[in-house]
C-alpha cells in the first residue's frame, strides 16, 4: 500500500504520560482534532520562505524549523486559484536618474568679458541665448559639427555650413535654402537677416564664437564661469533634456541589457515606471577598489548602460536620484503558477499544494517570479483552488 503524503515534521515528540496512582476521572469533554494546515503546524511550520536573491537572479527555498508552535486554533488559511500565466524573472541593478548627455562650454578664443550666464537648471532651446560676452548674446544652434572656421560666401563646402543653414531655416531665415554644404549668396543674405534681429552688424559671416553648437536643447547643470570675469576656460556645463537612467552594469551580466530591451525602473518612494535600453557602452570601466586592502579586478569592471523612460513625466523633477532597474533574465510562458506561500514541504522530500478538502498534490517547481512559482504535476489544472496562509 502506498504511504500517504505527509508534511515535514520537526517538533519533538511528547513525553509518555506517568501511570496514575488512582483511577483517572472520567473526562468531561474532548478536543476535536484540528484539520488541514493547523494540525500539521503543531508538528512543524512548513511555511516556505523565499529568500530575496533578485540581484543574483535566483530564489532559495528553506523550511523553517525554529518557528514557535501554532495556537490551538491553528493558523488562518484561505484559498487561491492555480492560474495559467507568463512568469518573467528579473535581475535588479542600481542606477541613477538624470539627463542624457554631458557637455562643457569653453570660452571663445578671442576672449572678452562674461556679461551674462544662465541659471543652474535652466533649459536652453534652439536660437535662445546660452551666454553673453562683451554684451553680445551667443545663441544655441543644434548640430553634430561645431563651428571651427569663419563661414562666408565662397568658403569651401563642409558639414559646418550645413549646420548653419539648417538652423537658420529652423529659426525662420532663408526658407528657400538648400539642405547642402554650400555657403551661397542666399546663405549670406539669411545670415544678415538673422544678425539684424540679434542687433549685430550685418556682415553675412558666421565666426566660431558667434554661436554655440550642441546636439539639441540643453539643460544647465553647473556654471564654472563668473559674470564680470574674463571669458576664459569653462563657462558652462550642460546636459541634454531627455530623461534617462544610467546603470553601471557588471560585465558578467551585460547580456541582460540588449538594445531595445524592456525594463522596469523602481523610483524613490516605491513608485515604478517603464523604460527601454537605449544605449550599451562598448568599453568596460574598472570599478574603484573597495578599500586600501583590495584592488579592483576584472570582475569589478562595468559597462555603461542607458535606459530611456517611456513616460518621463512620471519621474517629475527628480535629478541625480538613486533608482533600481529590473532587467529580464528569463521568461516562462503559459505555465501553471501559485503564490509561493501555497507550497508545502513534504517529510519524504519535495513539495506539494493542498486542496480545501485536505488532499495533498505533489508538484514539481519551476521558475520563481513576481511572488509566484511555476508548478507542474498530475491532477493540477487552471482554476482549481489550493490553500494558502492568510497574512
Q: How confident is the model at residue 88 (pLDDT cuts 50, 70, 90)?
A: confident
| Mean pLDDT score, 128-139 | 96
The per-residue pLDDT for 43 is: 28
Scanning 63-210, the segments in alpha helix (DSSP H) are 159-170, 185-198
| Mean pLDDT score, 351-365 | 95
Q: How confident is the model at residue 369 (pLDDT cuts 50, 70, 90)?
A: confident
CA distance 340 to 315: 32
The per-residue pLDDT for 110 is: 78
Is residue 83 within 8 A of residue 353, CB to CB? The reply is no
Q: How confident is the model at residue 93 (pLDDT cuts 50, 70, 90)?
A: very high
CA distance 295 to 287: 9
The per-residue pLDDT for 329 is: 85
| Mean pLDDT score, 140-165 | 97
CA atoms within 13 A on the CB side of 200: 22
Q: How confident is the model at residue 133 (pLDDT cuts 50, 70, 90)?
A: very high
Instruction: Please give the grid coordinates belonging to residue 4.
Output: 500517504
Phi, psi values for residue 245, rounded to 5°: -115, 130
| Whether the model pTM is above 0.85 | no
pLDDT: which is higher, 150 or 320:
150
- pLDDT above 60 (res 35): no
| Mean pLDDT score, 204-218 | 96
| Mean pLDDT score, 172-176 | 94
- pLDDT above 80 (res 58): no
pLDDT over 70, % of the chain: 77
The per-residue pLDDT for 320 is: 87
CA distance 236 to 129: 13
CB crowding 266-276: b at 16 or more within 10 Å, else e? bbeeeeebebe
Q: How confident is the model at residue 44 (pLDDT cuts 50, 70, 90)?
A: very low
pLDDT tens-digit map of 239-262? 999 999 999 999 988 888 989 999
Instruction: Please give the grid coordinates belonging to residue 207.
Output: 565666426
Per the DSSP assignment, residues forming a β-bridge with 338 are 373
Q: Is 248 helix (H, G, I), strand (E, B) or coil?
A: strand
- pLDDT above 80 (res 173): yes
- Measured CA distances, 217 to 129, 235, 274, 387 (Å): 12, 17, 24, 57
CA distance 59 to 51: 6
- Measured CA distances, 113 to 26, 127, 132 (Å): 107, 22, 9
- pLDDT above 80 (res 167): yes
DSSP per position, 7-57: B---SPPPPPPPPPSSPPPPPS--PPPPPTHHHHHTT---PEEEE--GGGT
The per-residue pLDDT for 36 is: 42
pLDDT tens-digit map of 1-30? 445 566 653 333 333 333 333 443 343 333
Mean pLDDT of the chain: 82
2-16, 181-195, 220-234, 355-369: least confidently modelled range: 2-16
- Among all chains, which residue has been given the C-alpha cell 519524504? 348
pLDDT: which is higher, 387 or 252:
387
Is residue 116 within 8 A of residue 79, CB to CB? The reply is no
Q: How confident is the model at residue 231 (pLDDT cuts 50, 70, 90)?
A: very high
Per the DSSP assignment, residues forming a β-bridge with 346 are 7
| Mean pLDDT score, 169-176 | 95
* Strand bridging mode 321-339 / 344-345: unpaired
The per-residue pLDDT for 111 is: 79
CA distance 304 to 278: 11
- pLDDT above 80 (res 295): no
Is residue 42 within 8 A of residue 70, CB to CB? The reply is yes
Q: How confident is the model at residue 300 (pLDDT cuts 50, 70, 90)?
A: confident
Query: What is the set of domains in the chain, with CATH numbers?
Result: 37-90+332-389 (2.40.420), 93-99+242-288+299-328 (2.40.30.170), 103-240 (1.10.101.10)
Amino acid at each position: 500500500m502506498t504511504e500517504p503524503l505527509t508534511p515535514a515534521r520537526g517538533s519533538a515528540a511528547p513525553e509518555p504520560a506517568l501511570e496514575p496512582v488512582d483511577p483517572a476521572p472520567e473526562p468531561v469533554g474532548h478536543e476535536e482534532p484540528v484539520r488541514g494546515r493547523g494540525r500539521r503546524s503543531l508538528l512543524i511550520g512548513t511555511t516556505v520562505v523565499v529568500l530575496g536573491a533578485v540581484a543574483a537572479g535566483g530564489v532559495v527555498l528553506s523550511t523553517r524549523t525554529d518557528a514557535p508552535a501554532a495556537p490551538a486554533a491553528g493558523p488562518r488559511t484561505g484559498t487561491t486559484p492555480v492560474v495559467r500565466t507568463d512568469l518573467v524573472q528579473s535581475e535588479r541593478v542600481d542606477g541613477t536618474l538624470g539627463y542624457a548627455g554631458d557637455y562643457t562650454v569653453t570660452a571663445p578664443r578671442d576672449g572678452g568679458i562674461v556679461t551674462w550666464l544662465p541659471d543652474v537648471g535652466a533649459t536652453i532651446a534652439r536660437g535662445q541665448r546660452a551666454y553673453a560676452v562683451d554684451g553680445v548674446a551667443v545663441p544655441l544652434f543644434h548640430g553634430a559639427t561645431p563651428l571651427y572656421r569663419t563661414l562666408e560666401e565662397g568658403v569651401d563646402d563642409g558639414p559646418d555650413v550645413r549646420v548653419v543653414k539648417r538652423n537658420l531655416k529652423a529659426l525662420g531665415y532663408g526658407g528657400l535654402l538648400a539642405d547642402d554644404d554650400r555657403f551661397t549668396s542666399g546663405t549670406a543674405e539669411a545670415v544678415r537677416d538673422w544678425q539684424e534681429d540679434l542687433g549685430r552688424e550685418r556682415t553675412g559671416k558666421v565666426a566660431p564664437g558667434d554661436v554655440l553648437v550642441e546636439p539639441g536643447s540643453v539643460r544647465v547643470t553647473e556654471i564654472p564661469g563668473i559674470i564680470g570675469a574674463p571669458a576664459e576656460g569653462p563657462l558652462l556645463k550642460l546636459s541634454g533634456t531627455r530623461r534617462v537612467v544610467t546603470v553601471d552594469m557588471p560585465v558578467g551580466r551585460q547580456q541582460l541589457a540588449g538594445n531595445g530591451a524592456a525594463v522596469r525602473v523602481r523610483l524613490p518612494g516605491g513608485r515604478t515606471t517603464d523604460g527601454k535600453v537605449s544605449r550599451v557602452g562598448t568599453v568596460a570601466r574598472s570599478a574603484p577598489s573597495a578599500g586600501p586592502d583590495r584592488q579592483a579586478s576584472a570582475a569589478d569592471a562595468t559597462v555603461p548602460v542607458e535606459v530611456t523612460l517611456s513616460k518621463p513625466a512620471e519621474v517629475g523633477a527628480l535629478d541625480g536620484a538613486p533608482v533600481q532597474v529590473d532587467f529580464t533574465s528569463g521568461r516562462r510562458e503559459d505555465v501553471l503558477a501559485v503564490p509561493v506561500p501555497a507550497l508545502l514541504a513534504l517529510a519524504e522530500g519535495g513539495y506539494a499544494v493542498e486542496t480545501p478538502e485536505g488532499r495533498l498534490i505533489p508538484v514539481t517547481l519551476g521558475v520563481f517570479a513576481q511572488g509566484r512559482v511555476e508548478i507542474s504535476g498530475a491532477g493540477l489544472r487552471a482554476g482549481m483552488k489550493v490553500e494558502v496562509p492568510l497574512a
